[in-house]
Structure 1
């Protein structure tokens, strides 16, 4: 199979606060845009023809894959939104034979995609294939799911209460016979249980349901490794750590570029990659495996825990701590006893102590002693509101999620699980207890009590 279609047209509104300023597929995992990672792996697996279908924030998608040659980037504003519309737009380009269809917001391992491609090559005439993931302990209400029996999908159910065994992974092998079903749908994905309420949208899953109803055979390929459908911020946070762990676990020995400098006093436990022009300074402690990008500096007693990646040109200094499984983006500054775990996007700044776990948006600036609470007194996880849907994430429920271009004053406290939209300013000493909409100035007003005080109070 030598052709693939990546559907990258959606708005990704559930990814707020990052969807306000980003195409979801261009967000980085392990300091690499999701869609760039997809394209790189597809090309490594020998897929020769790759079509990327764009609509929302197409400029960002183009930027994310600018380093690759031979891509067919399609997005003139006419493909519309919805997975059915996006795939239909791709099929109008004259594609023939079988093709791999991927959702542009999925994160997976090379070996798992290779296995899915091999299963696709074994299909018989008339068959199609869907990648599926076991539900295990996950809530089916959060996903478009499938009833799988005998190695085939028997039924598709969207956000059900029960009656399913797997969820769809956003990866399919199909051919042009799906095209008529993309348009011959009821207008909503009506493969729901009674009482559920699907929105007006043509979906690829709806087309597959019509394909099954017409007697088609949809085989199920169960994916064994970590595979993430990055719909919400906590999915992104979890995927980032999982990919860092997988990729860096492959390191068997340190790789130091000839132009990089590593101090003799640095304490390094485990393999590290230090790229061109990077510096590991005196009294730095690194618990490998870790990767330090081009021109990055880790100096003055800073500490990196394992499975961490430091982006190009970042500066980590002055006894700060980067937690395990973290990505520090290009050009970030982290210093003076600050502690950070999670994802720090490009150019973000955290200085003068403080503690943060979660995702910090691009060019955001945390004032001195900004801290986030991530352990509740009831030892429970925070319930999040996602476009009106209440959800308790299995990972990252109590992390903080600050969007791009946010500023906090000194001594700001972020309570467990809060989200702050882009272009916000949080004033000094403010305790943030709830989600803050985009473009908000939030500060506290204190009541001052003024009285006379002096030597007379002490008997003089």
Structure 2
């Protein structure tokens, strides 16, 4: 191990397009804000605290990540490279090749708690001498993930989404459901890679799983090690995963405080861990029950209730007699009277008086969401609506649990929304 490695390099991948994140995919999904900062800020902060000294961010041609992060003093050396086309994870890593001088970490931009795993991976690197270190966790659904293959205690391969029912192990292995999977250990999206990885990547054809194929090739020739964990790092595949991320981030970063420039009426009730930003106004009769974050220049109307992990970014207006609970509102959202529970509203949305987000099924069952024409299980029994940017609704609109509303839509007064609404729709 060279002294240069002690400086620590990490590649953050923030260039990919995520159709599964619609309707919040107008910008890279790591730019969604929680407590006044984009998710990628927390990822950088986590790496910095863990000892990483230099970060290379791979972004798309719009340079939206670089533009947003330019608003913050990050306190760490950041370099940016562009992936011209979304050609997959391996191609994104390849874009940073000329900036890498030794072993390096690779991760997605939303891994806000990744710093917890830097130390264990580095320790395994030091004690084993292996150039490739995985983070792994057990799974009972191996056919959905990249799975490590073992011979004894040695890693012998990586198989991406092994075929269900196929026997990948020797005849002596006990079959499971007609065949034995490579193992029950899936690879988590945080890697410590050797500089030579680029050589291996260039040896495989470019395709959807070229990154995994290059890892498998390296394992077969050089070997690898795995650090097992009990808890998986943050998942961020679908928009509703933001709720769990918000809860974790508030538990770690939210600090109570009311800015001296904020105006809070005398009979406002504020309980628990609550932050109120600059020039925000909270009017008579409002109740704020933390943990909650209310940003700068917000207005909370008379007799409104804001509670339980509500996140209101700058310039949000909540009208009188409204309730906002466990919801995430990006900048410049205006909600008048109504109920907004377990919902996410993109930047610039305007919701008329009397809007209701139904967030629980009548039978209290699990809520499923239609994503790319397939019903996806959310694992949630409380989920309202998720709305893209700059959508406007008339008065007395109702949204059924789990509906997705696109960006730049207009929803007419009195509408009841049972199904997803595509971008640019007049409903």
Within 2, Cα distance between the matches of 1:116 and 1:281?
Answer: 49
1:53 is aligned to 2:58: yes
Determine which of 236, 239, 246 is the counterpart of 1:233.
239
- Counterpart for residue 104 of structure 1: 109
Count of residues paired in the alignment: 402
- Counterpart for residue 259 of structure 1: none
Given that 1:22 and 1:57 are in contact with CA atoms closer than 8 Å, whether structure 2 keeps it comes out as no
Given that 1:53 and 1:74 are in contact with CA atoms closer than 8 Å, whether structure 2 keeps it comes out as yes
Given that 2:360 and 2:384 are in contact with CA atoms closer than 8 Å, whether structure 1 keeps it comes out as no
Given that 2:367 and 2:379 are in contact with CA atoms closer than 8 Å, whether structure 1 keeps it comes out as no
1:130 is aligned to 2:134: yes
Q: Deviations over 1:253-287 (max 9, x none)?
A: xxxxxxxxxxxxxxxxxxx2223523433222223
Q: Deviations over 1:226-248 (max 9, x none)?
A: 62131210112221122213434
Within 2, Cα distance between the matches of 1:29 and 1:14?
Answer: 20
Determine which of 343, 357, 361 is the counterpart of 2:346.
361
Question: Which residues of 2 match residues 250-265 of structure 1 at below 5 A?
Answer: none
Q: Deviations over 1:303-346 (max 9, x none)?
A: 22222111222222312112311211111111201111211111
- My pick for the range that moved more, 176-185 or 160-169, is 160-169
Q: Deviations over 1:84-141 (max 9, x none)?
A: 0111111133x1221111111223264x1343454355353333112234447xx556
- Counterpart for residue 46 of structure 2: 41
Q: TM-score, normalised by structure 1?
A: 0.79
- Counterpart for residue 312 of structure 1: 296
1:91 is aligned to 2:97: yes
Determine which of 10, 16, 28 is the counterpart of 1:10.
16
Within 2, Cα distance between the matches of 1:302 and 1:207?
Answer: 57
Within 2, Cα distance between the matches of 1:247 and 1:151?
Answer: 39
- Counterpart for residue 402 of structure 2: 417
1:383 is aligned to 2:355: no
Given that 2:358 and 2:401 are in contact with CA atoms closer than 8 Å, whether structure 1 keeps it comes out as yes
1:235/1:152 CA distance change after superposition, 3 Å: farther
1:115 is aligned to 2:119: yes
Q: Deviations over 1:139-173 (max 9, x none)?
A: 55654454679877555344455835344332111
Residue 58 (structure 1) shift: 1.8
Given that 2:142 and 2:186 are in contact with CA atoms closer than 8 Å, whether structure 1 keeps it comes out as yes
Higher Cα Rg, which structure: 1
Given that 1:152 and 1:220 are in contact with CA atoms closer than 8 Å, whether structure 2 keeps it comes out as no
1:293 is aligned to 2:277: yes
- Counterpart for residue 177 of structure 1: 196
Helix, strand or coil at the partner of 1:245: helix
Q: Deviations over 1:31-62 (max 9, x none)?
A: 32111111222223332211111115322443
Within 1, Cα distance between the matches of 2:305 and 2:143?
Answer: 38
Determine which of 24, 32, 36 is the counterpart of 2:37.
32
Within 2, Cα distance between the matches of 1:400 and 1:245?
Answer: 24
1:169/1:220 CA distance change after superposition, 3 Å: same
- Counterpart for residue 177 of structure 2: none
**Ranges in structure 2 where 5+ consecutive residues have no aligned partner:** 1-5, 166-180
Given that 1:384 and 1:392 are in contact with CA atoms closer than 8 Å, whether structure 2 keeps it comes out as yes
Residue 413 (structure 1) shift: 0.7
- Counterpart for residue 339 of structure 1: 323
- My pick for the range that moved more, 321-330 or 78-87, is 78-87
Determine which of 207, 217, 221 is the counterpart of 1:210.
217
Query: How much is the aligned-residue C-alpha RMSD, in angstroms?
Result: 2.7
Within 2, Cα distance between the matches of 1:6 and 1:96?
Answer: 16
Helix, strand or coil at the partner of 2:95: helix
1:242 is aligned to 2:242: no
Question: Which residues of 2 match residues 389-400 of structure 1 at below 5 A?
Answer: 389-395=374-380, 398-400=383-385
1:99/1:308 CA distance change after superposition, 3 Å: same
1:274/1:141 CA distance change after superposition, 3 Å: farther
Helix, strand or coil at the partner of 2:240: helix
Residue 427 (structure 1) shift: 0.3
1:353/1:221 CA distance change after superposition, 3 Å: same
1:115/1:57 CA distance change after superposition, 3 Å: same
1:324/1:392 CA distance change after superposition, 3 Å: same
Within 2, Cα distance between the matches of 1:283 and 1:226?
Answer: 43
- Counterpart for residue 456 of structure 1: none
Within 2, Cα distance between the matches of 1:290 and 1:135?
Answer: 37
Helix, strand or coil at the partner of 2:221: coil
1:108/1:218 CA distance change after superposition, 3 Å: same
